[in-house]
Amino acid sequence: MARAYDPLFITSDNSPIDVPSPSSSSMTLTKDELKRIAAYKAVDFVKSNMVLGLGTGSTAKHAVDRIGELLRQGKLENIVGIPTSKKTQEHALSLNIPLSDLDAHPVVDLSIDGADEVDPRLNLVKGRGGSLLREKMIEGASKKFVVIVDESKMVKHIGGSKMALPVEIVPFCWKFTAERLRRVMEGYGCEAKLRLGGEKGEAFVTDNGNYIVDMYLEKDMGDLSVVSITIGFDAGVLSCMEYMKAAPWFEDEEYKTGSCCLSYILKK
């Protein structure tokens, strides 16, 4: 069985991989340094004249920083970025990265983003940063989608990690929708909580003016395709960020540090 940190390529789409344990060599770098290394390697696949989906979160921020740096150096030209959040939009503008949207560019050449969980079959959970809907729209419009993770994001299965599976919902009758989600996922030991934000404990509001219900599951979700369809059929649900059937792409020998700095691509 090929390990996730074999250099350059793992050729089998959706093949199982070992879930790595933190290695002694990985401890020589901080978590943020690992994110930066992986993000910079992902940006190596960015070419001039591309339309890019710019992800949200601490890992994606490193990729945006690198794109801005290469533009300043003249090593990249005629790049157009489509940000997945207002926060990323502000950051990209501060780096003078030209921006647009899906109306002007309905096909995105490449998107780069992080992930919250990756299981041994390379199923992904994304969206805990709160940019679910825009991420799913932009990354779904991409020819290629590079997902950058370090070993801390590797889990044995999706569900049961005591971490949230975020679902973006309409504010209208949110309690009704949250309870329906809880009932649908009851077999997995689901607890559904409205995400709160701000000093007064009010509901967290997404860039699109929606709410997020975080679902905490005690059990393995099993077949994610079935779960995704089931959740998505609820009328109050706008986006649930779990991706299926990713395939590993690269891990450069030069930057290999145990099982860290993993990068994956979702193949269309």
**Torsion 57-61-64-68 (CA) sign:** positive
- The C-alpha atoms of residue 114 and residue 172 are separated, in whole angstroms, by 30
> How far is 79 from 48, CA to CA, in rounded Å?
6
Residues 121 and 15: their CA atoms lie apart, in Å, by 6
d(Cα 70, Cα 54) in Å, to the nearest integer?
Answer: 15
> Which one is catalytic: 77, 90, 117, 135?
135
Check the CA dihedral 159-126-246-43 and report its sign.
negative
Identify which of 185, 184, 208, 205 has the alpha carbon closest to the alpha carbon of residue 196: 205
The yes-or-no answer on residue 135 being catalytic is yes
- Catalytic residue numbers, as ranges: 135
